[in-house]
Structures are given as C-alpha cells and as structure tokens.
Structure 1
Amino acid sequence: MIKRWVLKDAADASTVQELAAGLNIDPVLSALLVRRGVKTFDEAKYFFRPSTLHLHDPFLMQDMEKAIDRIEQAIAKNEKILVYGDYDVDGTTAVALVYSFFQKIHQNIEYYIPDRYKEGYGISTAGIDYAAANGFSLIIALDCGIKSVDKIAYANTLNVDFIICDHHLPGPELPEAIAVLDPKRADCAYPFKELSGAGIGLKLIQAWSDKHGLPFEGVAEYFDLVAISIACDIVHITGENRVLAHLGLQKINENPCIGVKMLMQVAGRTGTYTISDVVFLLGPRINAAGRIDDAKHAVELLIACHEDAAKEKGDMINIRNTERKGHDQQITDEALGMIDNDEVMIARKSTVVFNKNWHKGVIGIVASRLTEKYYRPTVVLTQSNGHVAGSARSVLGYDLYEALCGCSDLLIQFGGHRYAAGLTMHPENVPAFIQKFEEVVSSTITDEQLVQQVSIDAEIELKDIDAKFFRILAQFAPFGPENMSPVFLSKNVYVSGNAGLVGSNHVKMLVMQPGSAAFSSIAFNQGELLHLLKPGVPFDICYTIEENVWREQRSIQLNIKGIKPHPNPPREGGL
C-alpha cells in the first residue's frame, strides 16, 4: 500500500534550545517534548516522573459529593447495590474495580453485565427490570448511561436510583440520576477530560477513600485494571491518563491482581508488558468473553481471589479467544474474497460488505482489518435478531459519524464517533444503504484522505541514535493516542549484508549510514518492497525506535513504517 509521508511542523526553535540546555538532552528530543506541550523544566519533571501526587482531587468532579452521599446512605441502610457495566474491556474492568472495592465494605452488592446480543450496548430495560425485581435500590453504572435519559426516567418510576460514571460525550439533556459523573459535562470543572470508564470508577473509589480516611493502597490496588482500560479503550495517554497508565503498567509487571496474572499466563507472553502488549494480548482475551459467550466471565476472572478459580476462567477465556480468532479469520477471508472478485467494489471509495451468517461479535474487528487493507471508510454488516447490525471504521481525517448522518433515513439507529460507529437497519434497506453510503463518502472524502499517512516527528541521522538518546526516548512511554511513539526519518540508508523475508510478509535486515552502526530492523507486512533493498542501493526509511529482547539480550531495533527509493524529492503536502 502506498503511504504518504508528512513531516510535522517544526517546534518553536528558541523554546526547543532552552529546554534542551536545561535538561541536557538532544534538541531532537526537546522538540518532541515541546510538541507534547512540555516547555519547561518543571513540566518535563512531571512528564518523565509520573506519580500518585499528580492525580487530581476526585471531588473536583461535578456530582461526586452526591455520589458518595448516596452510597453512604445505601450502606448505612443495607440497601442492595448493583454495579452495572458495559461488556467491553473498559466496562468489565470498571465493574471489576468498583465491585471489588465496595464488596470489601458492603456485602449486599452484586454486578450486572448486559448481554451483547439480547440487550445491546448501555443501560437496558432488562437490566433495570432485573434490579427492580431483585430488590436493588441503587445502580452504579460504569462506562455507559450518559445518554440514557429515557432508561433512567423508567428506573425512577420503579424507585431504582442511578449513579452514572461515564466518559462519553453527553447529549443535550442529562439523565435525571442521583449523580452524573462525567468530566465531559459542560458544567464539570474536573481538570482532565479524557478518563476511561474505569478511570471514572477509580475516581469514585478514590473519593470514598479520601472521605473515609482509608489508605491509598486500597485505591492503587486497582491501577492494573485502569491501565488495561486506558490501553484498550484508545483514550488519550496524556495528563492523568498517562500517570495512571504508567503506574498501572508498573503494577502489571510487578504485582498484578490474580486475574490479570492468569490472563498474562494464558497469553504466553513473558517479560515486561507495554501498552501495546496490553492492547494485543490482554484486551482481546477480555473482549472475547463477551464476543463469543458472556462478558460476566471476564469480570469473574478479574475479581478472582484464588488462583484455581482464576486459572479455570483464564483457560476458558483463552479458548473463547481462539474461537474468536477463527471467526475473525474466516469472515475476513470471505469479505476479502467478496471485494477482490468484484470490480465495482474495488473501484469504490467506501467498503460495505454483508453476510447474514457472520458472527456479530467480531464484525468490528473485521471492519478494522478491511480498513487497513483498502484504506477507506468501511462497514461490515450481519443479521441479528431480525435486523441488520453493522460495525463501521474510518480513515484518518474522515468523519464517519457525519457520513452515517447522511444515511440516517435508512437506519433504525446508529452511534459512535469520527472513526468508529455501530448501526442497525431493516434488512430490506441494505442495498439502498450500500449505494447511499458510497454516494455520501464519494462526495465528502478527499483523495488525500484515501492515502494512508505516516506522520514524521523529525529527520535524524542513524549515528544520532546512541544509548543516551534511546534511554531518554524510552521515558516518553507509555505510548498511545496524543503521545504516540515518535516516528523518525533517515535518508540515504543502506542494507548491511542482505535483506530477507521472515514470517509471511515481513522484512528483516540491518541498515546503516556512512559513519553509523548497523541497526537491526524489521518492516512488518512490507515484503513487496524487498526488491528495493539491495546492497549499495540507497533508500529512505521512516521508523520508530524500540528495544528488542532476544534470549535475554537487549538491543536497539528500528521498526520501519515506510521505505522509499532515494533520492525521493518531497511532494506538495508530504514527503
């Protein structure tokens, strides 16, 4: 796939030089900091040394006092409390966190995860009816509820109170709950707006602990769950999230809870976990419980107190993940076949594929894979409960949600954001939707948006990459949205020795420049470029810098994101 290389605008030169001198670091590194909003010595200290001291006062969040007061009342009167959460990673980690904390204080407490297929996302009527029928007078809802105005109104008629802990953008009207904890509320002064659902849950237990003088260790016990939610829900890894991700990764690597420990064991990965490892190894297994079976199994694993019970759940979830992979691969292969064998579909600027027999639990994963392959807005549809359900993904810079708004007359409902969405429609509307979605996308997307972009932070020489440079760069982690691993450009590099294929389509080689060491390099899924990589023939690369561990030996490795022949003069708008 052709990729467009774009060099980011230069940071303010005087600020870069001043920061580089103050920290005694390479100006390239100080420029990376300045682009991240780090411009002073004190800001750099905050950035490089995340600490519990950097966590905000939870009572700065609107309605926190009301939430704590209502929980105190429930505990004092021995009311039944139901902890309710979504079936994805963020929801299940949030439920495990809040339930585990309050279960130590109040025995009359249970949790509830809605069924993905019968109830769907968010607060459900069935969940409220379950609470009312079983004597629950208070529901703590996590990672959902901010737009459930009608559902909360219904719960109020049954004398079931709600505390909503959500991080999604509110609608024009807030639900009439006892408390609505959401930093994105227009009237909320909480200084950090991008917490995950489990992050909101953590602030709730932090507020309880602060008010009741409990040791902070009782809150820190759940940092591993919050880090998993932050990584897998793709929230910004800046500010308080970066602090929580850093502390959570420490806990994952040093002293994870029993459930996370078992999850790591079944994943088969040894060594230090990064955010990327959490996303690709732990998250899919937690999600698989709800995609293939019941997300309650994920909660049962994460709240387990004994290794035997955790091992049983961990093994079962691993089996579900294997099943999920099978469905994922089968549906992806079928979808690729549909597209590649249809010249009309290949020529489109959007992708919409439909098969009524596809497994609803994995169509979001398939949509992501198709987007990676063809790099255009994509919708994958299947049939479920008499309707057609879909999962949609977009490309950088294109507003998928707005495109679906243009098709709203054909949809029963839809929701999401710029880059990911879900939708339902009547089966008879599928052909019209395919045509309408293509018309909307074609008229609103630019040719530039249909070419994958690699954003480059800086051009450097390979000789600039030494032990000190890498040691400081590594402290920019944990990486994620708004704090991505920096991408560097080096021109006129050469293969040292021979480049070769490893795995299915990956290129392994040593690269160097005159005067530099030879760096071990890997270019994933770029085997079609092997013909460019001949001894003595120069080429340009863009890459991230990472540590490679092999048989307990550590070395610097370049993870190559793009390869182009040299010379390659810059084009307007990119490199």
Structure 2
Amino acid sequence: MRWTLKPKPNNEIVENLVKSLGVERTVASLLVQRGIETFEQARKFFRPSLKDLHDPFLMKDMEKAVARIEKALDNEENILVFGDYDVDGTTSVALMSSFLKSFSPYVATYIPDRYEEGYGVSYQGIDFAADNDISLIIALDCGIKAVEKVAYAKEKGIDFIICDHHRPGGEIPSAVAVLDPKRDDCEYPYKELCGCGVGFKLIQALAAGKGLKTENLLPYLDLVATAIGADIVPITGENRILAYHGLHVINVAPRAGFKAVLKQLKKETISITDVVFILAPRINAAGRMKHGQHAVNLLTEEDEDTAVQFAAEIENFNSDRRDTDKSITAEALAQIEDLKEQERHTTVVYQENWHKGVIGIVASRLTETYYRPTLVFTKSGEKLAASARSVKGFDVYDALEACKEHIEQFGGHKYAAGLTLLASEYENFKLKFEEVVSETIDKNLLTPEISIDAEIDLKEITPKFYRILKQFAPFGPGNMSPVFMTRNLRDTGYGKCVGADESHLKCQLKQEGESPVFNVIGFGLGKKLDIIARNKVFKAAYAIDENHYNGNVSLQLRLKDISE
C-alpha cells in the first residue's frame, strides 16, 4: 500500500474556520480540504438544503423536454419510460413513471433485456412502442449515443427525450430534447449528476409548471440517493443535497419496496455505505440474473404485502448472483495465475460461458486483487461483451477510446465502462489495450493508495470529535470518510488474528505517553500480526467508527494499514 498524506491546507483559512465555527483545528483542516473555507459554506455542507439545488431550466433543452411532456399529457398520448437495467436505470424509470402516473394513466415502462437486447436504447424497445401506439419515449440513464436508434424511432413517428449523464459521442441524437450535463454545449453548473439525478431535474422542472415545490418531491429522493450511491458518482454539490435528503426518506418514510428489503435484512437505519453494499446489489441482481423490470416492480409497488413478495424474489436473485459471482471470480483468478497476467499493466480475461450479468462485479474483484485496469469478457450472441473497471486516477474510458478501431460499441465513465467487439478482434484489442495503458498510466497508480487526511494523536479522538465527523456524511467520492494516521503506537498485548480463516487483525492500541486505549479491527490484515507483536512500535492508517456490542456503543479504529 502507498500511503499519501494530503498537503496541509492554508493555515490562515483554517484558523478563521476554527474561530467562526468553534471547532478543533483538525475538523477545520478536514473542511478546508473539501473546499469549505467560510462559515456560509460550512453551513451549507452540514445542513444541505433543497433550496440550494440549481434551477433545472439551466440545463440545455429542459424547456423543450417540459413542453413536449406537457403536450403528451394534455393530449393523452401514450408515454414509454425507458431505462437501463442497472440500479441507476431502474430507479430512474421508477422515479419518472411514478411521477407521470400521478397525472396520466397512459404511462408504460420498459427495461431492455440484458441478454436479448444489451445495454441502452434498443430496436426491440422502439418496436414495442410502435406496436402499442406510443408516441413519446423518455430514455433515462442511456441514449446519449443512440443516434441511429433515435432516427429509427422518428421514422416510426415516435419522439424521444433523453436524460443521460454519460459522455456524448461525436454526434448528439436528433431527439426532441437531450438532457445531459456532460454535453459540451450545456452550461448546467453541476456536471456530476447520475442518470436518476438528471431524471429528478426533469420532474423538478415539470413540477414547477404544475405549481408544485421541490419539497413536494421529497418522496422520490430515496430513489435518487440509491442511484447516487450505486453509481459511485461524487457526493458533492447537488449530489450531496439529494443523497442527504434521500437517505433521510429511506430511514424515516421508505417506500414499500425499500421497507420490505430492509425488514427482510433486519436493518432499521442505513447509511450510504449500506445503500452501496446492501440495497444496490439487490436491485441490480434482478437485471443481472432475470430481468430489470422486477426491480422497477419492487420500487413502484405501493401495497406492502405485495412488496414483501417482490423483495423475497429479489433476495433469491441476489443469492444466485452471489454464487455465480463467486465461482466466476475463482475461475478468472485461476486464469490470471496461469497467464501470470499480474506482471502486465492490464488484466484481461475471457471465458465464453461466464454469466454476462456478473462480469462487472468480477472485474471489480479482480481490480481489487491485482490493482490493474481490468476487462472481463464473455460471449454475447455472435460477439464478445466486456465490463471494464479501473484503478484510482486512471481513465479507462479514454483508454478504450484509443482502442476503438477494434471495438464495435462502448460507453461508460472514467472508472467503469462496457464494450462489445467481434471475436476476431479480441487478441488485437487485448494487445492494443495493454499498449495504451502501459504508455499512458502513471506507474504509481498500479499500487493501491491510502489517502490520509491528517496525522493526529489518539487523545484527539473524543466522542465530541466523532459526533462532528459523523456530520460530514454522506460519504463517497469527493467526500470520503476521513482517514487518519498516528505514529508511536503499541499493542497492549491483546493482538490476535480472528475470523473463520484468521485473516483479520484484532488488537488494542495506545500511543506512547498519555493516551487513551482503543479497540481496533483490521479486515484482511491478519498477515501483519508480526508488525505489532512483541511490544513493537508502529504507525497506523485508520478510520474511526462505532462498535455496537451487547447494547454498548464505543469508538473503535478500523485499520486501513499498519507499518513499522
């Protein structure tokens, strides 16, 4: 692991915050690192307000989108809400369809089949619309590159509105409206919305035209918060406001589907981390193992008993997904060992029978293990399909762009993308991808980094300090949970390996001099027991959290790494 201590922020700004907020110096430094330099900025950070959301009409084509939807509602046109099969797509469809259904019964939903239709807007979906006298399709979390498909729909007399957040290609589809903050010609102030976030801006604009306030849209924010967490977009600016209020909705007044899932898991309150690791995988499992429409059904169901049935169904999909993901990961790791792939700058594996629904998860696991830009391929009809994942700091989308002569189709983000190519191009692509990455990647990025916010003494960790840290949540890219470093530590003699395979490290730490004693857990760090043995002095990088045991709550340190 590569330990990187963030530069100390401007001393004068930190001192001003200490005085104006009445907080400790470390807290003020953490705020300045996050771009918060004034009392007013701190107020907005700690108390995110819906009033600070941007005017949705600042987004290019918003007026056109609203006008076309209002026309469709007035004329009782049939509207199809179309979205991708992942969490961002299914929450977007649930959001838009349930909002529109409060004004019109003529609203249908469509999620493409991952295996029959693939990612994004599909010809089958357009044909479905044509066969059912649908004259308007609203595409969410997809469509920004669907130039030919939008033209095909136009030939059939079907209009398109696109709400996307992926990077556009060279040509923007000729839809009635294309809402995407990443368009070069869009001056919307916040560029990092997820697909569901763009959908929310559209219903915010529609609501304004109907005399509704943004506060009236609060019940939809549980969907937006779930998409923000699942899509790993930065939790800054508008995303932070939407995630903050959405999490509150999930915890205080969840929709029937979420309530059923959380009840099944015996979870009462959840954080954004729980959204990422508990809610999102279950919603995703529907599209991975069966069909994304099952997720939309769960998220839009209002009857609690029916929602319980849907949640049980989703849980079964997730169980199947876990088993499949585990076996494919084992096969992929074995393949890498055989090829000694870890000596390269990339990891690229292929097996024609691997389940297309889980290759993205497998790619993430391989990236965690070997820390290389990674592609996992499987057969998809006559072609090969892959999921790509990257390491922190490296743009895999740009790398794929440099290999596009070998690719049929691709799309995605800096850290996650998908592509298809002809089987005959696989070896050529693999060589080109390795060449591009090896020539462009900073070699330091191939070693996992622990980014440390501040060096502190253990005596600074008090209940008050932790209470303030908790208010930094929700955490995520752009606002990660703070990581601290402390030197001159010793184990009090209780250090041991724990867990079924003894892979975790458990100990009690104190710092030399006057110091409180803290319980410590280090997941996956059991092999480093020797560093703390025999009363040796060491340093630790860690996060602070709460340990709940037998009704007691105490502060504990969660190790990221230890070193002599």
TM-score by length of 1: 0.94
Asked whether the equivalents of residues 166 and 412 of structure 2 are also in contact (C-alpha less than 8 Å), the reply is no
Aligned to 1:410: 406
Verify: 1:378 aligned to 2:377, yes or no. no
Choose which of 190, 202, 205 in structure 2 pairs with 1:204. 202
Aligned to 2:463: 467
Choose which of 306, 328, 332 in structure 2 pairs with 1:331. 328
> Unaligned regions of 5+ residues in structure 1, if any?
566-575
Q: CA RMSD in A?
A: 1.6
Aligned to 1:290: 287
Where does 1:433-472 land on structure 2 (aligned, <5 Å)?
433-472=429-468
CA distance 1:521–1:259, change in 2 (3 Å): same
Aligned-partner residue type, residue 319 of structure 1: N
TM-superposed deviation, 1:216: 4.5
| Deviation sequence 1:299-323 (CA, Å, 0-9, x none) | 0000001012111111011100000
Verify: 1:518 aligned to 2:509, yes or no. no
TM-superposed deviation, 1:46: 0.6
Aligned to 2:425: 429
Distance 1:240 1:405 in 2: 29
Aligned to 1:485: 481
CA distance 1:407–1:171, change in 2 (3 Å): closer
Secondary structure of the 2:85 match is coil
Aligned to 2:312: 315
CA distance 1:284–1:337, change in 2 (3 Å): same
CA distance 1:205–1:440, change in 2 (3 Å): closer
> Unaligned regions of 5+ residues in structure 2, if any?
none
TM-superposed deviation, 1:249: 0.8
Asked whether the equivalents of residues 249 and 273 of structure 1 are also in contact (C-alpha less than 8 Å), the reply is yes
Secondary structure of the 2:533 match is coil
Asked whether the equivalents of residues 379 and 390 of structure 1 are also in contact (C-alpha less than 8 Å), the reply is yes
Aligned-partner residue type, residue 327 of structure 1: T
TM-superposed deviation, 1:472: 1.0
Asked whether the equivalents of residues 456 and 488 of structure 1 are also in contact (C-alpha less than 8 Å), the reply is yes
Distance 1:208 1:407 in 2: 41
| Deviation sequence 1:99-157 (CA, Å, 0-9, x none) | 11111210011111111111111111111111111100011111111222221122111
CA distance 1:207–1:444, change in 2 (3 Å): closer
Asked whether the equivalents of residues 237 and 481 of structure 1 are also in contact (C-alpha less than 8 Å), the reply is yes
Distance 1:551 1:218 in 2: 41
Distance 1:215 1:55 in 2: 12
Aligned-partner residue type, residue 227 of structure 1: A
Between 1:169-178 and 1:37-46, the stretch displaced more is: 169-178
Q: Percent identity?
A: 52
Aligned-partner residue type, residue 430 of structure 1: Y
Distance 1:9 1:429 in 2: 45
TM-superposed deviation, 1:377: 1.7
| Deviation sequence 1:455-475 (CA, Å, 0-9, x none) | 111100010111221111111
CA distance 1:535–1:261, change in 2 (3 Å): farther
TM-superposed deviation, 1:45: 0.5
CA distance 1:147–1:430, change in 2 (3 Å): closer
Distance 1:76 1:373 in 2: 55
Secondary structure of the 2:135 match is strand
Aligned to 1:569: none
Aligned-partner residue type, residue 326 of structure 2: Q
Aligned to 1:550: 549
Aligned to 2:230: 232
Asked whether the equivalents of residues 498 and 535 of structure 1 are also in contact (C-alpha less than 8 Å), the reply is no
Distance 1:218 1:289 in 2: 30
Distance 1:22 1:356 in 2: 61
CA distance 1:224–1:457, change in 2 (3 Å): same
Verify: 1:16 aligned to 2:5, yes or no. no
Aligned-partner residue type, residue 182 of structure 1: D
Secondary structure of the 2:506 match is strand
TM-superposed deviation, 1:185: 2.5
Aligned-partner residue type, residue 304 of structure 1: E
Asked whether the equivalents of residues 371 and 377 of structure 1 are also in contact (C-alpha less than 8 Å), the reply is yes
Aligned to 1:573: none
Asked whether the equivalents of residues 498 and 534 of structure 1 are also in contact (C-alpha less than 8 Å), the reply is no
Distance 2:442 2:2 in 1: 14
Asked whether the equivalents of residues 496 and 535 of structure 1 are also in contact (C-alpha less than 8 Å), the reply is no
Aligned to 2:191: 193
Verify: 1:364 aligned to 2:360, yes or no. yes
TM-superposed deviation, 1:58: 1.9
Aligned to 1:27: 25
TM-superposed deviation, 1:563: 0.6
Choose which of 58, 61, 69 in structure 2 pairs with 1:71. 69
Aligned-partner residue type, residue 159 of structure 1: G
